[in-house]
Amino acid sequence: MVAPILNQRDLEFMLYEYLDAESLTSRARYADHNRETFQAAIDTGRTVAEKYLLPIRGKV
């Protein structure tokens, strides 16, 4: 596995402790979401970045 560009614990701290992203779920627009769906979006972004962007880093 590739070395992480962003520490997972740092990301979780910023999102859930500092920015309180879970409080968004109290709004109608985000009521269907929770920490699990937020994490799924982050995991998808990380997978795309590691698979497609990391290999070309520094080439452009």
Task: Note the pLDDT tens digit of each residue in 12-44.
Answer: 999 999 999 999 999 999 999 999 999 999 999
| Angle CA 29–35–38, to nearest 5 | 70
pLDDT at 5: 74
Q: Which of 49, 47, 24, 46 is nearest to 35 (CA)?
A: 24
- pLDDT classification of 3: cutoffs 50, 70, 90: low
pTM: 0.77
| Domain coordinates in residue numbering, the chain | 8-56
- pLDDT classification of 4: cutoffs 50, 70, 90: low
Q: How far apart are CA 4 and CA 2, in angstroms?
A: 6
Q: How many residues does the chain have?
A: 60
Q: Which of 52, 56, 41, 31 is nearest to 11 (CA)?
A: 41
